[in-house]
Amino acid sequence: MRVLALSPGSLQDQLDRLPALASLCQQLDASLYVACDPKVSAAWNLLSVVKKVFSFGFETNPSLADWANLLGNVREPDFQVCINFAKGQQVNLMLFMSHIPNRIAASGFACTDLVVHEGSGFSPQRLASYLTPLGCSLDANAFRLTLPRQELEESRSSQPPGDGPMLMLAPSKSYGDWPSERWSSLPRSISNRLANLRSVTLDRGLPLRRCAAAVACADVVLSSCAVTQRLAVYFGIPLLALGAQPDDLPERPEIRCLGKKGALASLSENEVLNALGF
């Protein structure tokens, strides 16, 4: 079976959709094809069930020729299911002409099953209603990403030497983030309490897959970056999420939220140290 996902939105939106679509494909024994903006396509390369990613800029005012090209791509394979996160007349016309038998969306005249939106909670879990029409279920909290051992070993080889715990720092560098001088001084403050602590700041310029490997090899992640926070959740790494709200993340003992997004400058170093267990 082949499943098509039409997936506009940000990199975080793509990451939020991984558990639902991975679970759907596992339960249906299906392969996954995704149409998304090429700038965020790296998220889908983290899933082994993905067979192909179609580059399509939903937010860039695609022309009729663009839609016709996408229609040609989705008509070629024999798709049985489309999970559509896009909206608008064009996408609905394209889907109507695609003849895919099961078209699941939150709105639109082309959908065969209309999604009933659920309320608050861990955002990936809210997509469970997209699976219900197909008789499938979702436990987003249980979803885990995996990477080949070689990629993990390469990431570990780039870590600072030593056998102490590895603290991954991942600031968002956006307006209202925790001040850079506190990010810099925190490892020194922790090392006064834990001498063999190792720490590294995640290089946001790395490809997403290498960022994912770095997060997977950490012992603890301290981050104000929503993308890094989501990766830590998916790898089961203990996380202190600055600026995240409880509904942004699943309820686990190893996950804690601290501070309000856009107002992290008010957090003291001692508050962060206490939240980390120091």
Q: Which pLDDT tens digit goes with each residue over 54-94?
A: 999 999 989 989 999 999 988 878 899 999 999 999 999 99
Q: Where are the domains of the chain?
A: 2-142, 149-275
Residue 75's pLDDT is 82
Residue 76's pLDDT is 78
Kindly list the distances between the CA atom of residue 21 and the CA atoms of 79, 138, 243, in Å, as whole numbers in the listed order: 15, 9, 27
Q: What is the CATH number of domain 2-142?
A: 3.40.50.2000
Residue 118's pLDDT is 64
The sign of the CA dihedral 122, 56, 235, 168 is negative
Q: Which of 233, 40, 27 is nearest to 128 (CA)?
A: 27
Other CB atoms within a 10 A radius of the CB of residue 120 amount to: 9
Cβ contact 254:240 at 8 Å: no
Tens of pLDDT, residues 217-229: 999 999 999 999 9
The H or E element containing residue 167 is: strand 166-170
Other CB atoms within a 10 A radius of the CB of residue 248 amount to: 19
Q: Is the pTM of this model over 0.85?
A: yes
Q: Where are the alpha helices (DSSP H) in 77-225?
A: 89-98, 149-157, 180-191, 208-216
**Multiple choice CATH, 149-275, 2.60.40.10, 3.40.50.300, 3.40.718.10, 3.40.50.2000:** 3.40.50.2000
pLDDT under 50: residue ranges of the chain: none
Burial class of residue 85 in the structure, from the number of CB atoms within 10 Å of its CB (0-12 exposed, 13-18 middle, 19+ buried)? buried
Would the CATH topology of 2-142 be identical to that of 149-275?
yes
The sign of the CA dihedral 25, 30, 31, 35 is negative
